[in-house]
Amino acid sequence: MRTFDIPPFYRSPIISRVKAARKAADPRKRDFTPTLLDFGTVRILLARHFGFCFGVEHAIEQAYRALDENPGKRIFLLSQMIHNPEVNADLEEQGIRFLMDTSGNVLLPFEGLTPDDVVIVPAFGTTVEIEERLTAAGVDIATYNTTCPFVEKVWNRAAKLGDQQYTVVVHGKPAHEETRATVSHAARTAPVLVVQDHDEAEVLASMMRGERPWSEFEAHFSGRTTPGFDPERDLQRIGVVNQTTMLASETQGISALLEAALTTQRPAEDFANTRDTLCYATNDNQQATTGALDSGLAQVALVVGGYNSSNTSHLVELCEQVVPTYFIRNERELLEDGSIRHFDLHAKAERVSTAPWPAGVPTVLVTSGASCPDATVDRVIQRVLGDFPGARPVDEVLTEFGQTPA
């Protein structure tokens, strides 16, 4: 697979060595067992896969290329490059400005753009309407378009579904940039409906089976459809695609639920097989996290990433089903008094928890989202080690690991 030229400060001395050893031992990425690093006073359990994916590395490389190739020009990002505060803060420090926030609210008016300006399209992609506005202003949106190829794969599949007279059901968070972009692109050829989770899918399925009246549709899915959407007409033939950062298992569950509901009334060919739209990187990270949890070794989990990162939040959900889990942005959330400042997904608020480490020699599972630099995970590990005096030297443990990578 292609590698990318991203700034060295995103790399990590610890993580790079671990990943290189695991890749050499398992180049086809078939082994989802975790890596155990025994520091004597604490053990770090690393998921087999985590951190920057193909799409994120490509986006970061292109952003820094835009800076290098356009000295003196104004450079803008449509919105956050990825959902990681450290990456976005660094780009801002380099002089890149954001045109919109993550909700699509305009921060800098598009009317002020000129053909000489550089605009970077983020990894999530953007809507057809925004593309048209930028093109109308004479802005080049092709040179630094960093839309993830796996997001574009979803768009292409949705377009094909529309051409075949299917309605596109998007499993995603309605307000997320990627979902908004996918709906916009899919709407060029098909009616579109957004379903956020399994509970919403169950409501929809009950209507499709005739157990609930269609008159309830608007109450549950208002603002989730393309204009003129008629559920009785438009849910006769469907295909499910997803926001690529959602739980793959949930997308598959929603697809199976809607297929079963549809085919009680309609022929099997009225439900399209769209399993090929699942993102390999999201799936790998989720399987690796599950593999680490299934090992039975983890006593507590640290999940590192931006609090508005969808794929990271799903890793948190997987972990918290099994062990106490702390969702942190970086090493600064591990406080000097031994407590942890972390994000509570359910309350949507930060919390501070005391005495997070189990007694004795704890085993701490560490993983991160696809938008989190390995260097951040490295600093988190170093900070954890600081809470356990007498820990073995990092180089000694890594040398030992390199001899028998596992």
Tell me the catalytic residues.
Answer: 178
The helix (H) or strand (E) run that includes residue 302 is strand 300-304
Across-strand partners of 118?
A: 75
Residues 81, 122: contact at Cβ < 8 Å?
Answer: yes
Measured between alpha carbons, how far is 149 from 161 in angstroms, rounded to an integer?
18
Q: Are 151 and 207 in contact (CB under 8 A)?
A: no
Enter the tokens of residue 74: 């104004």
Pairing of strands 35-38, 43-46: antiparallel
DSSP state of 334: B
The span from the CA of 165 to the CA of 161, in Å, is 6
Q: H or E element: which one contains 241?
A: strand 238-242
Half-sphere exposure of 399 (CA within 13 A, CB side): 5
What is the C-alpha separation between 66 and 229, in angstroms, rounded? 40
